[in-house]
Amino acid sequence: MELLLYVALFSPLVGSLFASLFGASKKNIIAGIVPSLLLFTSLVASSILLAFVLSTGQHVKVEMMTWMATGDLYIPFGFLVDQVSVTMMMVVTIVSTIVHVYSIGYMDHDKSFNRFFAWLSAFVFSMMVLVMSDNFAGLFIGWEGVGLCSWALIGFWYHKESATWAANEAFIMNRIADLGMLIGIFLVYWNTGALQYAEAFAAMPGLEHATLVWMGIFLFIGAMGKSAQFPLHTWLADAMEGPTPVSALIHAATMVTAGVYLVVRANPLYDLIPSVGIFIASLGAFVALFAASMALVNRDMKRIIAYSTLSQLGYMFVAAGLGAYWVALFHLMAHAFFKALLFLGAGNVMHAMHDELDPFKMGGLKKVMKGTFIMMTLASVALAGIFPFAGFFSKDLILEVGFVEHHYIIYSVLLFTAGLTAFYSFRLVALIFHGEERYKIFGVHPHEAYKFMLIAMSPLLLLAVTAGALKMTYFEMVTAVLPATEYHVHSAATYWIMTIGTQLFVIAAIAFAYKKYANSSVKVPDGTSAIENRLCYKVLWNQYYIPYFYEEYFVKPYRELSSVFWRYVDMKVVDATVDGIANILYTTGEKTRVMQNGNLSTMLRWMVVGLVVLLSLAVVFGLAVRHSDEISLFLSGLGVK
Amino acid sequence: MEIGLNHYLVLSTILFAIGLVGVMRRKNLLMLFFATEILLNAVNIAFAAISHYYGDLTGQMFAFFVIAIAASEVAVGLGLLIVWHKRHNNIDLDQMSTMRG
């Protein structure tokens, strides 16, 4: 089992290193195939581990090496496969294997094909370290690793100004949050004396409540950055500058859920501080609604899906904040499948439309892209939470959690958001695949993606459709390590009214979206229609003016301040000091080299000067020694000791 | 007035000063050697005088050493001077500037 653990963990690293061997050379299909095969190996190893954990209920724990041992500080480099991490491993390996295979087709014409796979596999490795580590330090390494790979992949097309900007934005925002995370980890170590999950959590009930609250808050700040929660959310939508498979893998299925994973992993801590939990849940509900509202009007296919990811992350945080950790993890898993599918479908559409992102310029694509059409529709159905797709089981469960825990405001916000989710998902589907063939105006000839790309996507489709059926098995598995609370609405009648009501509401939202956007009267917006000039549309279109606010009140003042510091502090003080020292040495040298003009007579004169100086020093010193008593008396009179 | 230690030391200092000025001012290599001789003998006078004053022979012995060393030094120096003169036909200090820094 330990060998399997290492195989699961290190195969992606080997794949990454292999692909990076070809980093500087021309596109080589091997650099795509080998990492994909290695990831498949990792997937197989993870599946065997899953079967082992599922059948025996035991954990696999290895201590690879001692990482740090100084004084009282002892941090082993250990890995742990338990019910929670094996779930994450499965999600990561399944989605990344599919995305790798898909990328072989998607990146076919890209000249940096090899580099892409090197980074993508490196990302998977970091993510595996993140989820498999048995201590906070290892988690943090993985955390930073995924951040780095995310930066490199968002800015993959670095010749585009916008891509590098988005990459830096994502990196810097995460950096801010990582500082919080790091403080949280320090607090954990400071107070419990251990970084291993088991030991640290075991020591926590004995700590003061206020300390625990601070720990919880700081760790959650880290989670907020990675999972793009308000107010650190702007990077996620901009991260869509990266290649679409990257968006599918990193910015939908895996990395952004790391924050949820952290909260789930730290459940013993958050169980002790329910007040922070309520805050997390409230923020989650707010983000769910907030992101969904921005998705309503957006005209960029990938950004719409990104906002929907943000919204679903909000759902997960609601569940995690209310103590329903297994529900959060379950929704994380289900969401990973259908959201990755949605993104890969969007990638197909983008390819067909020659990188056009505005769904208003598409329309009627279902005729030419049948496979993609079916997949994206089913993924959207799953996202909307229609029975019996995955989203129904996981998302409705979160609604039930809110209801059962008596947080009716959160419940109604989430319910309303579910309607919005259905609306914007099907607005997208209707705009892309139904209605008039508006793309003809722009002279595009769309074509379906490669067959193998569609085949690669099919396992995701299968999982998106059927993942809900695994609910009870899943519940029994993860509750071995997570609190086993079942959320049942007590009265059967209430339950049925709620469920059917939600379903009807969602279906109505879908029908409305179809009615509005699937007909032939949809035109490419040109900024003149009435709705586009409404205030609420403008607010949503500009993302509540938050990016503008950040630009005006953080970025610009910071730039000004930097410029001032550069001009006055750096140039006038630091540079001037360094230059001054150099100049003094230089001028002294320049002046004194005249002494060595080769003339013996001059040298002799200098020798005499030296002699006189030494003699006078000797005399002064001799006098000082002779009169030392008087001198010290005189100095003490001046107040010098 | 009896001649005491101080007189000798003053003489020594005056001679030393004369020697120093010679070392600094002279451009002729031969004159430079004379100046160094004056310097060395100024010191010798001081040695001998102080040695006599304390009744200790060490200083006088040291003066002999200095004389011996000075003689050999002048011998070597004059040898070099003759070679230099044969090559360059002058013994002007200002011409000897090949060791420029």
Closest Cα partner for A224 from A183, A154, A288, A173? A173
- The number of helix segments (H) and strand segments (E) in chain A equals 27, 2
Burial of A238 from C-beta contacts in 10 A (0-12 / 13-18 / 19+) = buried
The amino acid occupying position A75 is I
Contact between A598 and B100 using a beta-carbon 8 Å cutoff: yes
pLDDT over 80 (residue A332): yes
| Alpha carbons A395 and A377: distance in angstroms, whole number | 18
Q: Which residues pair with A75 in a beta bridge?
A: A68
Secondary structure of A240-290 in HEC code, one letter for each residue: HHCCHHHHHHHHHHCHHHHHHHHHHHCHHHHHHCHHHHHHHHHHHHHHHHH
For A129, the token pair is: 């370290």
Residue B82 C-alpha, separation from nearest chain A C-alpha, in angstroms: 18
Q: What is the pLDDT of residues A188-246, one digit of tens each?
A: 998 888 888 888 898 888 888 899 999 999 999 999 999 988 888 889 888 888 899 99
pLDDT (0 to 100) of residue A536 = 80
Q: Using CA atoms, how far apart are residues A115 and A149, in angstroms rounded to an integer?
A: 12
pLDDT surpassing 80 at residue B97: no
CA angle A69, A75, A76 (to 5 degrees): 105
**pLDDT score of A581:** 96
Return the H-helix or E-strand segment holding B82: helix B58-88
Nearest to B24 among A593, A597, A608 (CB): A608
Residues of B in contact with A596 (CB under 8 A): 100-101
pLDDT at B101 over 70: no
**Is some CB atom of chain A closer than 8 A to the CB atom of B24?**
yes
Show the tokens assigned to A205. 């009930």
Per-residue confidence (pLDDT) for residue B96, from 0 to 100: 77
* The pair of three-digit structure tokens given for residue A262, joined into one six-digit string: 């952290």
User: What is the structure's pLDDT at A465?
Assistant: 85
Chain B partners of A601 at a C-beta cutoff of 8 Å?
24, 26-27, 93-94
User: What is the identity of the amino acid at B32?
Assistant: L
Q: Of A539, A361, A338, whose CA–CA distance to A438 is shortest?
A: A361
Would you say how long chain B is, in residues?
101
pLDDT at A574 > cutoff 80: yes
Mean predicted confidence (pLDDT) in A415-438? 88
pLDDT at A605: 86
In angstroms, the CA A124 to CA A515 distance is 41
Name the pTM for this structure.
Answer: 0.79
Average pLDDT (A280-284) is 92
User: What is the DSSP secondary-structure string of A454-472?
Assistant: HHHHHHHHHHHHHGGGGHH
Residues A603 and A596: their CA atoms lie apart, in Å, by 7
CB-neighbour burial class of residue A547 (10 A; exposed 0-12, middle 13-18, buried 19+): middle
Task: Give chain A's end-to-end CA distance (angstroms, integer).
Answer: 73
What pLDDT is recorded for position A501? Answer: 87
The pLDDT score that the predictor gives to residue A390 is 85
Query: How far apart are alpha carbons A328 and A281 in whole angstroms?
Result: 11
Q: Are A230 and A307 in contact (CB under 8 A)?
A: no
Pairing relation of β-strands A60-70 and A73-81?
Answer: antiparallel
List residues bridging with A81 in a β-sheet: A60
- Please give the Cα distance from A287 to A339 (Å, whole number): 18
By the 8 A CB rule, do A41 and A124 touch? Answer: no
Q: What domains does chain B contain, in order, with CATH numbers?
A: 5-93 (1.10.287.3510)
**In which band, very low, low, confident or very high, does the pLDDT at A48 lie, cut at 50, 70 and 90?**
very high
How far apart are the C-alpha atoms of A452 and A70, rounded to whole Å? 53
pLDDT at B100: 64
Minimum mean pLDDT among A159-173, A268-282, A470-484, B2-16: which range?
A470-484
When pLDDT is cut at 50, 70 and 90, the band that residue A485 belongs to is confident
- Segment B63-71 long-range contacts (CB within 8 Å, at least 24 positions apart): B66/B40, B67/B40, B70/B36, B70/B37, B70/B40
CA distance A329 to A335: 10
Shortest CB distance from B20 goes to which of A597, A598, A608? A608
By Cβ distance, the residue of A596, A597, A604 closest to B24 is A604
Q: What's the pLDDT at A184?
A: 93
Find, in chain B, the residue whose alpha carbon is nearest to that of A595: B101
Which residues of chain A have a CB within 8 Å of the CB of B98? 598
Q: What is the pLDDT of residue A40?
A: 93
Nearest CA in chain A to B98: A598
CA dihedral A419, A421, A426, A429 (to 10 degrees): 180
Measured between alpha carbons, how far is A154 from A166 in angstroms, rounded to an integer?
7
Please give the structure tokens belonging to residue A53: 């954990």
CA atoms within a 13 Å half-sphere pointing along the CA-CB vector of A617: 6
pLDDT digits (tens, 9 = 90+) for A523-535: 777 767 777 778 8
Banded model confidence at residue B99, pLDDT cuts 50, 70, 90: low
Write out chain B residues lying below 8 Å of A600, CB-based.
93, 96-97
What is the Cα–Cα distance from A281 to A271, expressed in whole angstroms? 13
Give DSSP secondary structure letters for A76-122: EEEEEE-HHHHHHHHHHHHHHHHHHHHHHHHTTT-TTHHHHHHHHHH
User: φ and ψ at A539, to 5 degrees?
Assistant: -60, -45
Mean pLDDT of B78-100: 84
Residue A288: both structure tokens together? 């769910």
pLDDT at B39: 92
What's the average model confidence in pLDDT over A269-278?
Answer: 90
Query: What pLDDT does residue A163 have?
Result: 92
d(CA A121, CA A131): 15
Quote helix, strand, coil % in chain A, to nearest 5: 75, 5, 20
Residue of A nearest to B101 (CA): A596
How far apart CA A177 and CA A152 sit, in angstroms, is 19
In this complex, how many residue pairs, one in chain A and one in chain B, have their CB atoms less than 8 Å apart?
31
The least confident of A118-122, A477-481, A567-571 is: A477-481
**Helical residues (DSSP H) of A133-208, grouped into ranges:** 136-154, 161-192, 197-203
Find the CB nearest A600 among B20, B93, B101. B93
How near does any CA of chain A get to the CA of B51, in Å? 22
Contacts of A424 (CB under 8 A, 6+ apart): A292, A295, A296, A304, A307, A308, A513
| Residue percentage of chain A with pLDDT more than 90 | 37
Contacting residues of A for B97, CB less than 8 Å apart = 597-600
How confident is the model at residue A394, as a pLDDT?
Answer: 86
- Residues A552-566: pLDDT tens digits? 898 899 999 999 999
Angle among Cα A284, A286, A287 to the nearest 5 degrees reads: 65
Q: Which residues pair with A79 in a beta bridge?
A: A62, A133
CB A417 within 8 A of CB A325: no
Beta-carbon neighbour count of residue A442 at 10 Å? 13
Burial category of A387 from C-beta neighbours within 10 Å (exposed 0-12, middle 13-18, buried 19 and up):
middle
Per-residue pLDDT at A27: 84
Burial class (CB in 10 A: 0-12, 13-18, 19+), A185: buried
Beta bridge partners of A619: none
Q: What pLDDT does residue A532 have?
A: 73
Greater pLDDT, B1 or A390 = A390
The pLDDT tens digits for B28-84 are 888 989 999 999 999 999 999 999 999 999 999 999 999 999 999 999 999 999 998
